[in-house]
Structure 1
Amino acid sequence: MKIALAQLNYHIGNFELNTKKIIETIHAAKAKKVDLVVFAELAVCGYPARDFLEFTEFIELCDKAVVAIAAECKGIAAIVGCPSVNPKIEGKNLFNSAYFLEKGRVKAKVHKTLLPTYDVFDEYRYFEPNTQFELVELMGKKIALTICEDLWNVDEDPLYVKAPMDELIHLRPDLMINIAASPFDYRHREDRLEVLSNNCEKYNLPLIYVNHIGAQTELVFDGGSMVMNANGHLIDELKYFEEDFSIVEFNSGLCAFEAKEVSIGGAWQNEDNDKPLDVSGLETIERIYNALVLGIRDYFQKSGFSKATLGMSGGIDSAVVLALAAEALGKDNVLPVLMPSQYSTNHSVDDSMDMINLIGCKHETIAIKDIFDSFQTALKPQFKDLPFNLTEENMQARIRGVLLMAISNKFGYILLNTSNKSENAVGYGTLYGDMCGGLSVIGDVYKTQVFALARYINRNGIIIPENIITKEPSAELRPDQKDSDSLPEYEALDKVLYQYVELRKSSREIIAQGVDEVLVKRILKLVNTNEYKRHQTPPILRVSPKAFGIGRRMPIVGKYLS
């Protein structure tokens, strides 16, 4: 039996596009004498559809698309993910389903059992869990068909819940097929390989796994669809961050696939997650880079925009965002705007221009000194002789935000936010100023990782001038200002943030690792007291296991300071 893995980029709610892609792939597979083509979880409607799933018309369009796809499955079978309704169930009557299509019709439906509600997931809000377990049959072979988390549970997990395969294995299947919508983070490939390999060994069955690629607002899906034999050895692995298509020949037995095992590039086991954040690994930074480029590109294409603007300060954050945007959208579709003040240094302007010239994009320069002076004059009756402080610094940031949003509105550009995760964590940013924008590109990238990204961007030649990378970070909102005036050194800051945000360690646990108690409590207080700012940030492209945004839900007025 020839089985094709179809790893495609879907668009939520774009039934015409998604159906067209699926049908074209079915025809291509049929031309190659494929017997079964496998698509990803909720491929028909896109993932995550969220509250679209509460609209009756949306579900009707899903049904209509499945009927159209099934009509093309003559002489070939397909597995495709789509919501399904069971009108006999009261309350939530919607399932996250895998449709088995053959002979022009829906031959079977398998529903997802384990509905995730952790981190970015909220499937139990919409779907009912499966309670009945049956196999799918094709060409005399029995297939255990599961959906994403249904094959992620392992016995060693302290939160282990009985998985569908524990039931299906009693029906003596020949093959496992898992369709998934598994979002990217920079550790996820190793997790995925390890868990799926362990389950192949546990059930002594080969596996076909098909995942999404593409970005859906904050979430990036990296692909990495794969084939494993019953020993848990990787037979085939599809591309990352690209659409891909692969065919394998399936037979019965331990070595079920007629293909050579492939190298997986190192051990599957993760590094000790409790170790301090390590940003030096080239593979991790390369993954983050590819995810961010895909995230920007898909956000624009799926939103119907083509051009971006951003504030260009001469610092490393805006430089990295400019480089990423130019790669994702093309240099002619990115407009950096320089907005120097009386506190901006000459080298910041020069460094910005050096990078703009290296990339070859257009730019605008709008000095803000006169605007800032007029604001100060207007507020003189209220401020009187009060000293210059954070208020005046924030005024400059908000002036820049107004100018950038004006350009965005007038010319139809999306404003890219350039704040990093370290700044977002401790509130080192101005609401309605440097925190504004339509998309936060590096909001899930720590400052130390931003430096590593800059080095990676320059791997084949200088794109970001060396002076931007090596000079001390500064917001340049007052004379001789440095980030270190207000914040701990970024290397120390990021290590504590990683322990608290990603690993959810308490102050006591972090201090026990040898970190200074005063520093830890200062940082954690900054994180918790600035939650109100993060509730007002643009969508953040998620690249870590725990990003700010939909996957981290904290109360604004909570008292707990860990």
Structure 2
Amino acid sequence: MSDNFRLTLAQLNPTVGAISGNADKARDAWHAAKVAGSDMLALPEAFVTGYQTQDLVMRPQFFRDAMDAVEALAKDCADGPAMGIGAPYHDGKDLYNAYYILQGGKIATRILKQRLPNETVFDEERHFTSADPQGPYSMGPIRIGTPICEDAWHAEDVCETLAESGAEFLLIPNGSPYYRNKFDVRLNHMVGRVVETGLPLVYLNMVGGQDDQVFDGASFALNPGGELAFRMADFDEEIRHVDLTNTDDGWRIQPGPIAQLSDEWEGDYRAMVESLRDYMGKTGFKQVLLGLSGGIDSAIVATIAADALGPENVRCVMLPSEYTSQGSLDDAKDIANRLGCTYDFVPIKEGRDAITNTLAPFFEGLEPDVTEENIQSRLRGLLLMALSNKTGAMLLTTGNKSEVAVGYATIYGDMSGGYNPIKDLYKIRVFEQCRWRNANHRDWMKGPEGEVIPVSIIDKPPSAELRPDQKDEDSLPPYDVLDAILEGLIDDEKSVAKLVSEGFDKATVKKIEHLVFISEYKRFQSAPGTRLTKRSFWLDRRYPIVNRWRDGT
């Protein structure tokens, strides 16, 4: 019996619902594995359907199409290495999240997921049935245990059972989405599995964007003792051939290159770029447009769009009113020129005058208030959506997490748009992210290098410019205070009393809590945006729109 086993890992980017296209990607990877003389090709969890499918996977024709695609792959890839690939399996009664082992023209083994995640963005208990414990399978000279994603995240459970039943190596296919600093979390869990089983382990993750989530790859391997044998790049598609050798101490993974991972600033920025790039590519849009106000939020969104799609596919539109400062006019044109994007100048005065005249009989005797401010924002939204409809370019919205949290945005106005890359980025981090982009350029960025975001935009006080001399801090606490309170209320679910004990003013905390709760209806109608944390708005944090409870502590 051979003392060597070659495994090809395919860290690839599937598209949800593109079953035949995903299967073609698997075939191409299989041919690469065959040329390399591999014994087996491994692809990530749910690769045939893409991940996450949400309720789509429960449609009978959908899971039947996926199962048919697996059968066809088995026949097409008979003469060469085995293939491991994720897809749903329905046994006539229940639906499972499965990992298929294809060998010799047929389905040789089918592993069914036991642990179904039902937290944060995951709803697998809604979609699948939990399977009973299963043993390892033989692949040439080696016995492989395959815990599927969540199966490997728990101590003294699936992995330990596989080791006790004869597994000599753990191959773990994943669909593990990005959040800030997540690699260390994954690594700590997998070190735990290696320590408790004494087995070498490969953690195979997918890459690519799907709606709000980004899968960041960074697949890796550990030998017994927790030694890192290799690590693949984060966010990039990669096919890597890995050799295992049977030694006197058991199977060991041969060392390979250890890719340098992104730090949290590069990771967040890359996630925003990749999510927008894939959202566009997978939905069929080619170009974007956005309202460029001369402020920092639209500046970073324009930069992200240029890096994701190329400046030639980004249209920036300045829509000034009488309250727009000369500094904002200058800054908006400056950043569009620095990025190399199309720049349009569309004053809103004529349209606003017409709306004011139309409403005058109904507003007679009433004092001007936020209504008139919101008319400006909604008129801008109308004009931008008209340009979007006419040109086929998708409108991007530009509200940061601080604004989205407290409702400091106009529904049907500046909230109009199809995607928001900075939806999970607090305002204070927007400033730092701009400084990071000015100082860094990478090969995956399609925009120009250098100081693309003028320092004048980063340094000026934030303002919606909807009335004379308006500043955000007229309505909100300073952003360093606001963001700290929001992180406590949203990201950490802290009580009012806890935040007060940390030194925050109680009246301010209560005001922010109230704004967060009453803005739920706006978030319910807001555009999807890149998930950067474990408490992003949408699937991570689910609150009722109608809610009269307030924290009385």
Q: TM-score, normalised by structure 2?
A: 0.94
Structure 1 stretches of 4+ with a deviation exceeding 6 A read none
Q: Distance in 1 between the 2:502 and 2:150 partners?
A: 33
Cα deviations by residue, 1:413-472 (Å, 9 ceiling, x for unpaired): 110010000000001000000111001110100001111111111115210111000000
Shift of 1:167: 2.2
State the superposition RMSD in angstroms. 1.4
Q: Is the 8 A contact 2:160 2:196 kept in 1?
A: no
Cα deviations by residue, 1:286-316 (Å, 9 ceiling, x for unpaired): 1000001000100000001100000000000
What secondary structure does 2:304 align onto? helix
Residue number in structure 1 paired with 2:508: 519
Residue number in structure 1 paired with 2:486: 497
Query: Which residue of 439, 447, 463 maps to 1:474?
Result: 463
Equivalent residues, number: 535
Query: Which residue of 237, 250, 256 maps to 2:252?
Result: 256
The question of 1:429 aligning with 2:374 is answered no
Q: Distance in 1 between the 2:115 and 2:102 partners?
A: 23
Shift of 1:254: 5.8
Shift of 1:251: 2.2
Query: Which residue of 45, 54, 58 maps to 1:54?
Result: 58
Q: Distance in 1 between the 2:499 and 2:198 partners?
A: 41
Shift of 1:169: 2.4
Cα distance, 1:55–1:255 mapped onto 2, change above 3 Å: closer
Amino acid aligned to 1:143: I
Q: Distance in 2 between the 1:25 and 1:51 partners?
A: 28
Identify which range, 243-252 or 17-26, moves more after superposition. Answer: 243-252
Cα deviations by residue, 1:353-404 (Å, 9 ceiling, x for unpaired): 1111111111211101121122111111111132221000111000000000
Q: Is the 8 A contact 1:15 1:65 kept in 2?
A: yes
Residue number in structure 2 paired with 1:113: 114
Q: Distance in 1 between the 2:451 and 2:250 partners?
A: 50
Q: Is the 8 A contact 1:45 1:82 kept in 2?
A: yes
Q: Is the 8 A contact 2:384 2:395 kept in 1?
A: yes
Residue number in structure 1 paired with 2:95: 94
Shift of 1:21: 0.5
Residue number in structure 2 paired with 1:279: none
Q: Distance in 1 between the 2:550 and 2:152 partners?
A: 37
Residue number in structure 1 paired with 2:73: 69
Q: Is the 8 A contact 1:285 1:449 kept in 2?
A: no
Cα deviations by residue, 1:234-274 (Å, 9 ceiling, x for unpaired): 11111111101112211233670121584877xxxxxxxxx
Q: Distance in 1 between the 2:78 and 2:237 partners?
A: 22
Q: Is the 8 A contact 1:73 1:103 kept in 2?
A: yes
Residue number in structure 1 paired with 2:334: 354
Cα deviations by residue, 1:510-554 (Å, 9 ceiling, x for unpaired): 222222222222211111121111101011211111100122110
Residue number in structure 2 paired with 1:172: 166
Shift of 1:283: 1.9
Q: Distance in 2 between the 1:290 and 1:363 partners?
A: 25
Residue number in structure 1 paired with 2:365: 385
Q: Distance in 2 between the 1:264 and 1:438 partners?
A: 33
The question of 1:363 aligning with 2:343 is answered yes
Shift of 1:140: 2.7
What secondary structure does 2:61 align onto? helix
Q: Distance in 2 between the 1:359 and 1:165 partners?
A: 50
What secondary structure does 1:323 align onto? helix
Q: TM-score, normalised by structure 1?
A: 0.93
Query: Which residue of 176, 183, 189 maps to 1:195?
Result: 189
Residue number in structure 2 paired with 1:532: 521
Q: Distance in 1 between the 2:217 and 2:62 partners?
A: 26
Amino acid aligned to 1:66: V
What secondary structure does 1:405 align onto? helix
Amino acid aligned to 1:341: S
Q: Distance in 1 between the 2:162 and 2:526 partners?
A: 45
Cα deviations by residue, 1:191-235 (Å, 9 ceiling, x for unpaired): 111111111111111101111100011111101111111111211
Residue number in structure 2 paired with 1:223: 217
Q: Distance in 2 between the 1:213 and 1:440 partners?
A: 20
Q: Distance in 1 between the 2:240 and 2:187 partners?
A: 18
Residue number in structure 2 paired with 1:205: 199
Q: Distance in 1 between the 2:503 and 2:463 partners?
A: 29
The question of 1:449 aligning with 2:449 is answered no
Q: Distance in 1 between the 2:421 and 2:483 partners?
A: 18
Query: Which residue of 269, 276, 292 maps to 1:312?
Result: 292
Residue number in structure 2 paired with 1:14: 18
Shift of 1:557: 1.1
Q: Distance in 2 between the 1:134 and 1:348 partners?
A: 64
Shift of 1:77: 0.9
Residue number in structure 1 paired with 2:453: 464
The question of 1:130 aligning with 2:131 is answered yes
Shift of 1:61: 1.2
Q: Distance in 1 between the 2:415 and 2:348 partners?
A: 18
Q: Distance in 1 between the 2:524 and 2:71 partners?
A: 41
Q: Distance in 2 between the 1:328 and 1:263 partners?
A: 22
Cα deviations by residue, 1:68-125 (Å, 9 ceiling, x for unpaired): 21121423111100000111x3xxx100000011111100001001111111111111
Q: Distance in 2 between the 1:300 and 1:27 partners?
A: 29
Gaps of 5+ in 1: 155-161, 266-281
Query: Which residue of 8, 32, 37 maps to 1:4?
Result: 8
Q: Is the 8 A contact 2:243 2:254 kept in 1?
A: yes
What secondary structure does 2:146 align onto? strand
Residue number in structure 2 paired with 1:277: none
Q: Distance in 1 between the 2:14 and 2:78 partners?
A: 20
Residue number in structure 1 paired with 2:398: 418
Q: Distance in 2 between the 1:398 and 1:515 partners?
A: 35
What secondary structure does 2:410 align onto? coil
Cα distance, 1:396–1:331 mapped onto 2, change above 3 Å: same
Amino acid aligned to 1:549: W
Q: Distance in 1 between the 2:260 and 2:14 partners?
A: 26
Q: Distance in 2 between the 1:182 and 1:263 partners?
A: 18
Q: Distance in 1 between the 2:166 and 2:269 partners?
A: 43
Amino acid aligned to 1:46: G
Residue number in structure 2 paired with 1:157: none
Q: Distance in 1 between the 2:127 and 2:339 partners?
A: 46
Cα deviations by residue, 1:24-49 (Å, 9 ceiling, x for unpaired): 10011110111111100000010111
Identify which range, 481-490 or 551-560, moves more after superposition. Answer: 551-560
Amino acid aligned to 1:233: E
